[in-house]
Structure 1
Amino acid sequence: MNIKPLLGIHHVSALTANAKENYHFYTKVLGLRLVKKTVNQDDTSVYHLFYADERGNPGTDLTFFEIPHSGRTYPGTNSITATSLRVKDNKALHYWKNRFEQFNVDHDEISNESGRATLSFRDQEGQRLILVSDENNVGVAGGKPWANSPVPQENGVVGLGPVHLTVSRPERTIKVLTDLMGFREKDGYTKDEDQKQVRVFETGEGGTGAEIHVSELDQVGRERPGRGSVHHVAFRVEDVEELNKWVDILNANHLSNSGFVERYYFRSLYFREPNGILFELATDGPGFEGDEDFEHLGEKLALPPYFEAQRKEIEARLEPLDTEQ
């Protein structure tokens, strides 16, 4: 079957127990734009918040499902253990280190990972995040930080960077990435703090916006997710025609999957790789401006047309969340 390579990382979706605190941190501290305030389409009683560049370009979305009263995360294997956010250059990392100190954000020192300057940090729920410098990056282009962000545009987050997977049997995950999904092995590196070997895989044009980093951890149990954990990673597919080809490919390889799923802002397909991590394939469009104009993205509760008849009931179950600028 003639199929195009995956274009890179589309989005990462994580869990939060508190939408208000989450909104404050990701918009007021990290300076991302809330481009869509909607609901979890599989459970409309909770929010689904999309933070991104100025208009939610593919490859820039970090999203959160609110699961009120969710417990803590117990770290372990067979999980997404870090999400990277791209910034323009090394200088920006020094800006962020100072900003984290100003806002009392838990962070490490600036270091080097796979030939790039990085800065690891955690949000108030322990979400594991890494700022990565694009100073020497060649590959998938980043987005454009929102002009009205509290963070100056030259230091703003331009998109998602490498997603880190920790698995008990890496050969199983790697086989799916390379033989099925078309990723190619790029290089590797050693994490200094624990001498852990990390293998790097890329797709499409490559670069920070198209990498998966895989490391092995087999002496602890599976991660128990909760607030501060990652739910899934999504990869970019050009359009619906390509997505339908992937449905056929997964079926031909006897991989259980969701089949085509309508998400309104994009179209999706879900499956679990052999170590149990949830992967999504998502189309680049239609995007977030079909039901809100650019100037007012994320200010009101947006519902796909197939939920509009239930708006009153849905709004009654949600805690109010003021996101008007």
Structure 2
Amino acid sequence: MNLKPLKGQHHVSAITANAKKNYEFYTKTLGLRLVKKSINQDDTSVYHLFYADERGNPGTDLTFFEIPHAGNTYKGTNSISLTALRVKTDDSLSYWKQRFEELGVDHDDISHHTGRSTLRFRDFEGQRLMLVSDETNEGVPGGKPWDKSPVPVEHGVVGLGPITLTVARGESTAAVLKDVLGFEETGSFPSDIEGQADIRVFETGEGGTGGEVYLEERNDLPVERPGRGSVHHVAFRVEDETELQKWVNWITENRLPNSGFVERYYFRSLYFREPNGILFELATDGPGFETDEDFDTLGQNLSLPPYFEAQRESIEAKLKPLDTKE
């Protein structure tokens, strides 16, 4: 197959049980912009919220499905166990540590065990997150923080960083990353859990923080039971629809059960599970979030793809009102 390399992270989609508190945390505490308030296209009774840089550039989106009755997450293997968010400098981590202390956000100390300066923290539901400094980074460019954010632009989140996969059988996932998705294994760093194997680093596209996956093999954990505060899937960037069709054929040729081509309106997608059961998505860079909203009003109203517009009245009746015009 004549496939172009994947361009890096596209988005990460996670689960929340409370859309209102989720909106407040990710916009007011983390300073991300809500670029789209929509619905889960596979279950129109719940919100799908997209937080990102100023216009939702691919590689900057952290999204959430609201599942109001989602239970606790019981952490374990076969999971996306840590989502990193990029900031520009080491000084930004000091800013964020102080901000988290002032706002009562659960966080660790600044660390350097990945080879870069990082700061781990959790949201109000225990979502596992990490800020990573781009000070010495080269590779996939970051996005542009929204200038109306409560966080100063120089310290704003510029995109998704390395995604950590925690699995029981590392070689199975590594084989898919390398042989199917075309990632290159570029290094490793020690686990911070005593007695566990080093964490392996894989890169795609231009590499760097916006194109890395960390693979952690653990033999001391059960399989994760997902709930609120867990991650549903990770998506990687494909240039356009033509390229995505090639990936549909390639994934099928490799006998990985998959969704085939899926129309999501803001982008086009393909879904499949790697051997440890983690859900991967390949998603096109466009058309983007300004397809149905102007830049200045992104995320303020409920956006529905055209194929759901006829159901708007019944869809809105099922959703708890969420004011995003503040």
TM-score surpassing 0.5? yes
Match of 1:296 in 2: 297
Letter in 1 for 2:294: D
Displacement of 1:253 in angstroms is: 1.0
Q: Secondary structure at the match of 1:289?
A: helix
Aligned equivalents of 2:70, 2:242: Cα separation in 1: 38
SS in 2 for 1:102: helix
What's 1:165 paired with?
165
SS at match of 2:190: strand
Is structure 2 residue 11 aligned with structure 1 residue 11? yes
**4+ residue segments displaced more than 3 Å:** 192-196
Partner of 1:123: 123
Tell me how far apart the structure 2 counterparts of residues 215 and 147 of structure 1 sit (CA, whole Å): 36
Q: Which residue of 1 aligns with 2:42?
A: 42
Give the Å deviation of 1:221: 1.7
Matches within 5 A, 1:162-241: 162-194=162-194, 196=196, 197-241=198-242
Shift of 1:195: 5.4
User: What residue identity is the alignment partner of 1:80?
Assistant: I
In structure 2, what residue type is equivalent to 1:2?
N
2:87 paired residue number: 87
Partners of 2:47 and 2:102 in 1: how far apart?
A: 29
Paired with 1:294 and 1:265, the residues of 2 have a C-alpha distance of: 14
* C-alpha deviation, 1:2, in angstroms: 0.9
Q: Where does structure 1 lack aligned partners over 5 or more consecutive residues?
A: none
Residues 80-101 of structure 1 show CA distances to partners (whole Å, capped at 9, x for unaligned) of: 0000000000000000000000
Q: SS of the counterpart of 2:107?
A: coil
Shift of 1:219: 3.0
Cα shift readout 1:73-116 (whole Å, capped 9, x = no counterpart)? 00010100000000000000000000000110000000013210
Which residue is equivalent to 1:317?
Answer: 318
1:252 is displaced (CA, Å) by 0.8
Secondary structure in structure 1 of the residue aligned to 2:101: helix
Q: After superposition, where does 1:227-306 map in structure 2 within 5 Å?
A: 227-306=228-307
| Distance across 2 between alignment mates of 1:109 and 1:193 | 16
Deviates more, 1:183-192 or 1:206-215: 183-192
SS state at 1:254 partner: coil
* Equivalent residues in 2 for 1:13-162, closer than 5 Å: 13-162=13-162
For residues 195 and 125 of structure 2, the distance between their equivalents in structure 1, rounded to whole angstroms, comes to 27
Superposed CA deviations along residues 175-231 of structure 1, whole A, max 9, x for unmatched, are: 000001000001100133535410000000000000000011133221000000000
Instruction: Tell me the matched-pair count.
Output: 325
What amino acid sits opposite 2:72 in the alignment?
A: R
Deviation digits for residues 262-281 of structure 1, max 9, x if unmatched?
Answer: 00000000000000000000
For 2:38 and 2:226, the matched residues in 1 are separated by 22
Provide the alpha-carbon RMSD of the alignment.
Answer: 0.7
Name the aligned partner's letter for residue 36 of structure 1. K
- Provide the identity percentage: 71
Aligned counterparts of 2:23 and 2:194: Cα–Cα separation in 1: 33
* Structure-2-length-normalised TM-score: 0.99
Q: Deviations over 1:246-273 (max 9, x none)?
A: 1100111111000000000000000000
* SS at structure 2 position matched to 1:44: strand
Counterpart-to-counterpart distance in 2, 1:182 and 1:195 = 30
Shift of 1:69: 1.7
2 CA distance for matches of 1:42 and 1:252? 26
TM-score, structure 1 normalization? 0.99
The 3-state SS of whatever aligns with 1:62 is strand
Aligned with 2:222: secondary structure? coil
Distance in 2, matches of 1:92 and 1:191, equals 25
Name the stretch that deviates more: 248-257 or 116-125. 248-257
One-letter code of the match for 2:33?
Answer: R
Secondary structure in 2 matching 1:191: coil
Cα distance between partner residues in 1 of 2:321 and 2:22: 14
- Work out the CA distance in 2 between the residues paired with 1:92 and 1:15: 27
- Report the residue type matching 1:289 in the other structure: E
Query: For the residues of structure 2 that align with 1:212 and 1:10, how far apart are their CA atoms?
Result: 12
The CA distance in 2 between the partners of 1:194 and 1:314, in whole Å, is 49
